[in-house]
Structure 1
Amino acid sequence: MFPDEMSLIVPDALDIATCDRLIANFNDRLDEGGLVQGQAASHIRRSQIGWFNEEQEPVVMRQIVDLVATANRTCFDFGLTDFAENAQIARYEGDQRGHYDWHSDIGASDVARRRKLTMVIQLSDPTDYDGGLLQMNPAGHIVDAPMARGTAILFPSFVLHRVAPTIAGTRFSLTCWVHGQPFR
């Protein structure tokens, strides 16, 4: 694990076979993800998303729970209590200019207000797409997340981040949020 000011990078958080299986299992079960607070907003987000939980993917969720526990203990020391939302698989298509503009993951709903830690795992091989970088802006400067397949990046949910437009190919990622009492 490699901590920096506001994120933690974990290479090989998921192996390639698991990345392939998640893409194959969810690719046909993804719905329009361009909704922002329940409204169509393709200028803000253009993607397809699907959800899974511990019953559907017990091994992956166990890996995520263990990884988050270690990362929080090592780097963040947040008061985390639960995974109040299912994990998300997202697909960003190059022919649709898939993207998600600058945002934080803390929102107005009761659940989103409790998001404390975000984890994104790169599922696609970086040679499968162009563009589509996960970028963070933790302190007024843009930082590109690593694109290596299976790599996880964890960061506080209040950090501004985006998925830059995907120019060609298809990018898949897994995102989950860990919850606790709202930041004060």
Structure 2
Amino acid sequence: MFPDEMYAVVPDALDGETCERLINGFAKDMDDGGLVQGQSATHIRQSKITWFNEEQEPAVSRRITDLVADVNRNWFDFSLTDFAEDAQIACYVGDQRGHYDWHSDIGSSEVARRRKMTLVIQLSEPDQYEGGLLQLNPAGHFIDAPMERGTAIFFPSFVLHRVAPTTAGLRYSLTQWVHGNPFR
């Protein structure tokens, strides 16, 4: 793990076989990705998404739980209580200039305001797409997340981040939010 200011990186959080299985298992059932509360704005977000839960992917869910516990214990020390939302798999399509502009993951809904930690795992191989960088802006300077397949990046859900426009290929990622009492 390579902690830095406001994020932590875990290489090989998922193996390549698991990443490929998630892509192949969920890519066919994707819908247009929107914003909170069912809103759509393609100038802000252009992606395809689907969701999975612990019953569908028990081994992946256990791995995520273990990763969150370890990273939180060793880095963030947030008061976390649960996973109130299913995990999301997103696809950013190059010929559609898939992207998600600058945003934070804390929202106004009952569930979104309880988001405390965001976890993103890179599912695609970096040579399968161009552009599409996950970028963080935790303190006024951009950080490019690692692109290696299976790498996880953790950050507080209030940190501004984006997926830069994907210019070619398909970029798949897994996102999981971890919840607790709202930040004060």
Interval of TM-score (by shorter of Structure 1 and Structure 2): over 0.9
Q: Which residue of 2 aligns with 1:168?
A: 168
In 2, Cα distance between equivalents of 1:84 and 1:139: 28
Give the strand-richer structure, 1 or 2: 1
Read off the aligned partner of 2:23 and give its amino acid letter: I
Q: Which residue of 2 aligns with 1:119?
A: 119
In the TM superposition, structure 1's runs of 4+ consecutive aligned residues that sit over 2 Å from their partners are 34-37
Does the 8 Å CA contact 1:36/1:45 hold for their aligned counterparts? no
What TM-score comes out, normalization by structure 2 length?
Answer: 0.99
What TM-score comes out, normalization by structure 1 length?
Answer: 0.99
Compute the RMSD of aligned alpha carbons.
Answer: 0.6
Does the 8 Å CA contact 1:134/1:163 hold for their aligned counterparts? yes
Of 51-60 and 30-39, more deviation after overlay is shown by 30-39
* Offset, 1:61: 0.2
Q: Which residue of 1 aligns with 2:60?
A: 60
**Count of matched residue positions in the alignment of Structure 1 and Structure 2:** 184
Read off the aligned partner of 1:142 and give its amino acid letter: F
In 2, Cα distance between equivalents of 1:44 and 1:37: 15
In 1, Cα distance between equivalents of 2:154 and 2:120: 7
In 1, Cα distance between equivalents of 2:21 and 2:4: 31
Q: Which residue of 2 aligns with 1:89?
A: 89
Does the 8 Å CA contact 2:35/2:45 hold for their aligned counterparts? yes
Does the 8 Å CA contact 1:132/1:163 hold for their aligned counterparts? yes
- How is 1:1-184 mapped onto 2 (pairs within 5 angstroms)? 1-184=1-184
Query: Sequence identity, in percent?
Result: 74
In 2, Cα distance between equivalents of 1:98 and 1:164: 8
Unaligned runs of 5+ in 1: none
